[in-house]
Amino acid sequence: MNADLNEMETRLLKLATRKLLDAFGSLQEAAQVCRVKPTNLSQYQSFEKSAFMPIDVVVALERVADTAPLTEELNRIHESVDHDTGDRSVRDEALDVPVAVGELLAFICEATGDNSPAGARLSENEKRRYFELRHRVEQELRELDEAVEKDGTLKRHAE
C-alpha cells in the first residue's frame, strides 16, 4: 500500500484504473494511445502492485476513452478530506454514511467479480477486508447517532 494513501483510497484508485482500461478492447490497444507498455498498464490496475499510472498516461487514456474514472476518483478522495475540525452537523455525518456503504459495495463487487482470484467466494483476506469496511459503516452510523443526540438538526452551522 502507498504510504500517502489509505488502503481504501488505494483500492478505489486501482478499481478506477481497471474501469479506465476496460474502456479499451485490450491492454495492447490502450498502450497504443499512451507512452507505456501493456505490462505496465497491467501493473497499474493490480492490487498486488504499488505503482500508479503517471498523470500524462491518465490524461491520454481518459481523452481517448472519453471517460474519466481516475480523475473522478481523485476528486472524490480530495473532497472527502474533512477540512472542518469543528463539530459536525447531523447533515454532515449523514453524508458520510453513503460513502462508507459505497466503499463496501464497491469492494464486494470487485471481490466477487469474474476477475477476482477467489471468484464469487471471498478469500480469507477478502473476508477480513469486508469486516473492516462493515465496521466503518457501523462507525459512521454511530457518529450520525451521536450527532442526532447532540444537535438534532439537519441545518448547516453558519461558517
CATH hierarchy code of domain 7-76: 1.10.260.40
Q: What is the mean pLDDT of residues 113-122?
A: 75
Give yes or no for residue 5 having a pLDDT over 90.
no
| pLDDT confidence of residue 83 | 47
Give yes or no for residue 57 having a pLDDT over 90.
yes
Give per-residue pLDDT as tens, 121-133. 888 888 888 888 8
Residue type, 135: H
CA–chain centroid gap for 118, Å, is 21
Of 1, 45, 15, the closest CA to residue 105 belongs to 15
Give yes or no for residue 22 having a pLDDT over 90.
yes
In the chain the beta strands, taken as DSSP E runs, fall at: none
Q: Which positions ≥6 away from 12 have C-beta within 8 Å?
A: 73, 76, 77, 103, 106
pTM more than 0.85 = no
Assigned C-alpha cell, 30: 490502450
